[in-house]
Structure 1
Amino acid sequence: MSINIYVGNLSFNANEGELRELFEQFGSVDSAKIITDQFTGRSRGFGFVEMSNREDGLRAIENLDSKDFSGRSLKVNEARPKKAMGGGGGGGKGRDGGGRSRW
């Protein structure tokens, strides 16, 4: 069973090859992706690594969380599933903001 790993506090200069190499010390890496801003193309400072072996991934998390990488202390943990977009929400007051009626 595979594992998807969140990697936060990445240096803005880090690249996906370096990220892959860092995790390959612990096992086979299926993918390494650094998330970038869609308008500027600049790194957003976090990424995801998918490893095919769950135990290898858990070992990587244990060994790499808080580790210095390119001058930054990494935040590494198992990625949470993406939440569905849309629906719900709201709250707040109605159109008139509470208070007296305008009429």
Structure 2
Amino acid sequence: MTGLHWAAVGGQLGPIRLLVERGTPLEAKNGYGATVLGQAVWAAVNSHPVCRWPDTKPDWGAMVRTLLDAGARPDAYPGLQERVEQVLRERR
């Protein structure tokens, strides 16, 4: 995984913004085939609070919006668009 994937798993909005500003590729895939946006959506729905320490209640909606605003593609693979919309609705 890239540093951006790891920041997404941890729900770390500050590092996500920094890495996006520095041009980290948004469409790089992790070992499971997920882009950073896909990793962020997965983490919003599935991650355990221990993975998000010290911030146990990240703003998943802001994180997903930041990635989308930076150009992450919600159509990168089947089903991602729907999951992105779910996170934006439910996790603000």
Q: Which has the higher helix share?
A: 2
Instruction: Give the TM-score normalised by structure 2.
Output: 0.26
Is the radius of gyration larger for structure 1 or structure 2? 1
Q: Which has the higher strand share?
A: 1
